[in-house]
Amino acid sequence: GWHVNSLLLPEELQAAAVRAGFEHVSTLEMRTYLELGRPRDRAIDQGRLEEGRRRCEAALVRDRLEPDAHLLLAAICQEQGDLPAALDALRRAIYLAPDSAPAHFLLGSLLFQRRERSRGRRSMETVVSLLSSVPREEPVVGTDGLTAGRLLETAQAYLESP
């Protein structure tokens, strides 16, 4: 057997199996075993935000409890200028993963962007609290290699800004 990331749309998965000479028997949830390189990630890296957003939304239809998909959807929505959708996705991500420093950071930056400084500060304070005991050189999960020290410094810069 072979496994393909669950974020492929079912018809794409079946077509890929046929093209490769296999019979598609089932689709297993493999997200927890896979690294970056998912179709949604490649689409976003290549600037195809609409496709990335569609893939995130399709993934969330299958599994509403996936905080990483909510976080990625929020980042896409922010990039597209859809701040209300980004905020909704971030609230869901934080509900599902309250210790997610990247989710709190993105929420804080969006709130600062909307001139909601008090709420933005609370989010950045949460980032500082979450990362203060993490080794500075440790990559933060969900940030594509950004270190805890760099994210912490950036959050502190938001807090020090007038």
36: left (phi over 0), alpha (psi -120 to 50) or beta: beta
pTM: 0.71
Tens of pLDDT along 4-52?
333 345 565 566 566 666 665 555 443 333 334 455 555 555 667 888 8
Strand partners, 147: 139
Tens of pLDDT along 80-117?
889 999 999 999 999 999 999 999 999 999 999 899 99
